[in-house]
Amino acid sequence: MSAPARRALDGTRVVEWGSGRALAYAGRQLADHGAGVVLIERDAASRTAPIAPPPGASHDCELEARVRWLHGGKRSATCDPRDPAQREQLLALFGRADVLLLEGNIAELDALGLSPESLSERFPALVVVPITLAGLGSGRSLRSSDLVATAMSGLAFYTGATVPTLEDNPPLRPGGYQAEYTAGLAAATGALVGLQLRRRSGRGSLVDTSLQASLASFMRMTVAYRLYEGADVMGLGIFDRLAPTGKRSTLWGMVPCKDGYFAFQASEQWQWDGLMDMMGDPEWAKAPEFELPIDRTIRWAEIEPHFVGWCLEHTKKEIFHEAQARHVPVFPCYDVAELIADEQQQARAYFVDLPVDGHLVKVPGAVLHLDKTPWIHDNEPPAPGQHTAEVFAEITEVGHAAPA
């Protein structure tokens, strides 16, 4: 019988301390690839806040699925750092770790003498990765949520933006928990960068990341537009602002078709030519006033009825295959069921089954697939404190006191 394949992060010791989706998702990324992740919890109530169960459910199925997805494959130990003896045990655990992922009440940690900076100084070989709302500057103690981070990043104003005036462009919250999961990926990436630096220098590092910065990093071009064009511009870009209809340019965007919606890009000439070829080179598109991309942006109100009218006579699948055959970036707008059924994702085995309440629930698998090492996600999450004795007994083996 052959030995199980080693994973990329086998032997890497990670402590995940605190609560929140960003923290849990960061730890899960590392655990999937072999890191030994110890989740430090104050008590059972410290886990990610539950959402009310659906009507008729015997318990919170959504929360159970999320806990299994985020915490599967980890070990859990309970420890209250407000107790001096337990705080010393926690510090001993940090001394054996390679990475500390941290999210929580920074003001409380500062008061306990456990700030990210002090931990990084006390354990010079440790990669300390605090996840905060706005970073470790003056806003280090601001209380966080996905919604607040979305507002702080500027993304709320850009989501659904239709016109370049503030009064007609109310902020919108994008679906899901974009800030928290994006920050979790950033934190996992930061941990790996820190480990690589330690491999070369022998020293750990303090990796400062935040929910705000993680989302704001997606706004680079939007910020650039504003800085280049002046403070009176919202930063939507030239094509967005030139459309006299009051709408954003739909030389790229989402339009209806016979059985739903699809996304398309036609801002470059070759893309437009491909779409027109797909539509049979209609006569209206040959008008001189539609010759250049900027012309088509300005006159989109005249183009839209022709384009959408043709699309409404064809299905997403037909438009997708015809456009892709002409190398035009077009794809159907998936709902969740269509995403799960996507042939490419099934071929990659991206979605995995979690047993919840007697049913198998599909959840996303690993973001990264390494061809030489497998990723493994253990469906079973630990109960809070399940491994407390085991985790602290390991500290005893190297000369530290075990908890009472």
- How large is the average pLDDT for residues 48-64? 54
Dist CA 78 CA 191 (whole Å)? 23
Helices marked H in 97-209 — which ranges? 106-111, 116-122, 146-153, 155-158, 178-201
Indicate the residue type of 129.
V
Is the pLDDT confidence value at 248 over 80?
Answer: no
Separation CA 70–CA 89 (nearest Å)? 25
pLDDT at residue 58, as a whole number: 53
Residue linked to tokens 């456009």: 323
| 84-93 long-range Cβ contacts below 8 angstroms, 24+ apart | 85/403, 85/404, 86/403, 87/112, 87/114, 88/401, 89/392, 89/395, 89/400, 89/401, 89/402, 89/403, 90/17, 90/40, 91/122, 92/395, 92/400, 92/401, 93/15, 93/38, 93/40, 93/391, 93/392, 93/395
pTM: 0.83
Q: Which of 23, 72, 106, 38 is nearest to 395 (CA)?
A: 38
Q: What CATH number is given for 13-218+346-396 in this structure?
A: 3.40.50.10540
pLDDT score, position 369: 85
Q: What is the mean pLDDT of residues 74-102?
A: 94
For residue 221, the model assigns a pLDDT of: 59
Q: Which residues pair with 265 in a beta bridge?
A: 252
**What is the pLDDT at residue 31?**
94
Q: What is the pLDDT of residues 93-111, one digit of tens each?
A: 999 999 999 998 888 899 9
Question: Are 14 and 94 spatial neighbours (Cβ–Cβ below 8 Å)?
Answer: no
Mean pLDDT of 346-371: 82
pLDDT of residue 403 exceeding 80, the answer is no
Q: What is the mean pLDDT of residues 261-269?
A: 89
Higher pLDDT, 56 or 244: 56
Lowest-pLDDT range of 34-38, 186-190, 356-360? 356-360
Tokens, residue 325: 């055959």
Mean pLDDT within 248-258: 78
pLDDT score of 242 more than 80? no
Q: Using CA atoms, how far apart are residues 351 and 342, in angstroms rounded to an integer? A: 10
**In Å, what is the CA distance from 244 to each residue of 247, 286, 341, 371?**
7, 21, 40, 50
Query: Any idea what DSSP says for residue 377?
Result: -
Mean pLDDT of the chain: 83
How large is the average pLDDT for residues 228-255? Answer: 53
For helices 316-325 and 269-278, the axis angle rounded to 10 degrees is: 130
Question: In degrees rounded to 5, what are phi and psi of residue 8?
Answer: -60, -35
**Euclidean distance between CA atoms 15 and 115, whole angstroms:** 15
Please indicate whether residue 309 or residue 371 has the higher confidence score (pLDDT).
Answer: 309
Across residues 321-342, what is the average pLDDT? 91
pLDDT given at position 332: 93
pLDDT at res. 321: 94
Q: Domain 250-335 class? A: alpha beta
Report domain extents, the chain: 13-218+346-396, 250-335
Please compute, for residue 359, the number of CA atoms within 13 A of its CA located in the half-sphere on the CB side.
Answer: 9
